[in-house]
Structure 1
Amino acid sequence: MQVAEGAKILSWRLKLSNWLSNGILDKYQRQIESTKIKSNQTESELNSLKIQLQQSQLELKRALAQLQINQGFQIELGEKQLQLQQTKTQLQQCQTQLQQKQQQLENYQTQFQQTQSKLINSQDWLQQIQAPIQVVEVKRLPQKDFEALWGFGIGSPLSESKAIAGSILFKGWVLGKKSLAKKVRIIYQGKILIETPVEQPRPAIIQHYPDIPAAANSGFETPFSVTAMGSEAELELQAVLEDESIIPLSLIYLKR
């Protein structure tokens, strides 16, 4: 009973104080309650922020872990790119070496073909050399100008003789009358194949023409290759005098 009465007395005192203070106590009381509510809200927001902070920290850890993984991938990617560049460089070097080897191979093939062609030509040339050449006829040509020469003679080749090793020895003499005999030439198909000077000593000719000084060295002599000729050939032997006169001497008919 005393406690209840004490509470009533306190309540009346508060009401009296509030009335005397024009409601200031109620105002403070409401402010305290409002502050408590705001404090509770702030505490709730703080707890929410703590939870968000924890989540953010967790996400940050995950992001850092992913970043480390990505950095590892980037390092590996850089290494792969470096390996790729090295592989490209090696590939270019291999391609260059391949081109060089192909060029060498083409050069070797060209050399082989050339060597093979030379071998075939050598074999043909050898066959031509080994094939005997028959001198079918040595035909003296009639002299149209009797003042051109004292005379001439052919000691080789002779009619119905044979030559081996693809060469024929042309040997004889010619003695100019109106002009000295300077050289003898061999004509084949209208072309001059060889020329040889008239300067060889001929003692036998001096006996026939003792009064002519040029008789002492009126001889000519030269080997002549017939390997490049066909199965049959006609050669013409001509004398060339110092006055550039050309005197046909003989026709030589050859056959393989």
Structure 2
Amino acid sequence: MILSGKAKLAGVFGWPVGHSRSPKLHGFWIEQHRIDGAYVPLSVRPEDFAYALRALPRMGFAGANVTIPHKQTALALADHVEPLARRIGAVNTLVVREDGSIEGRNTDAFGFLENLRHAVPDFSAATGVSVVIGAGGAARAVAAALLDDGAPRVRLINRTRSRAVEVAEALGGPIEVVDWEDRAEALAGSNLLVNTTSLGMTGQPPLDLALDALPRDALVTDIVYVPLETPLLLQARLRGHRTVDGLGMLLHQARPGFLAWFGVMPAVTDELRRFVES
């Protein structure tokens, strides 16, 4: 690591923040590109977050990532918010502008699509119906990405229907809310299935979803990356579907922030994946 008095600084806000893989990820790129800079964990309590955010330019930071529980608060506090972040309703990336003001962005939609295209270069949401399981912040980002990529219809399924309705109303566009009891039948005629819930994560129960109605040429992806192959992805792979794990979304969503802070658009490589997995 190269550090001088002119080092570029960035970090990740969270409470807690010890679980975040972002310092390891950005540290890899900083070393790879021999950048005079550092990326550090910023463990900040919710009641102190506003003060910490305002201190970024005063401490010489170029910006920061934002994780749980600060994403919605960052949306409210940022001086400027990009339209996509406002649609999604959360900020995961802060950029300090030259005038010292702070811009809030959301790179999850970018990361989601880039992950799919890295694994399946010819992927396009415009080719068919997409099914999204969940109605949290990740579901909002995924649905927004699919709509912006031309999806003719997004079927949104959540155990609590009212939350899915809120997402559909917030995003607008061709989103069809499907009742949880009808989730298996909703797979018919789709070309993409996305799980945005924590179901299937280590320590959580698996997603209860029969894939019988899912067309064999449909792509299946899960934003969970611990484990890399969730029960859903295993079930899909055994049926012959192409599958994409969630680690790539984490890696790709970090790229625009790194570009904004350190001036280089980094690449997601097999070497990087192995490093972060380890």
TM-score range, shorter-chain basis? under 0.3
**Which has more radius of gyration?**
1
Higher normalized helix content (fraction of residues): 1
Q: Could you say which structure has the higher strand fraction? A: 1
> TM-score if structure 1 supplies the norm length?
0.20
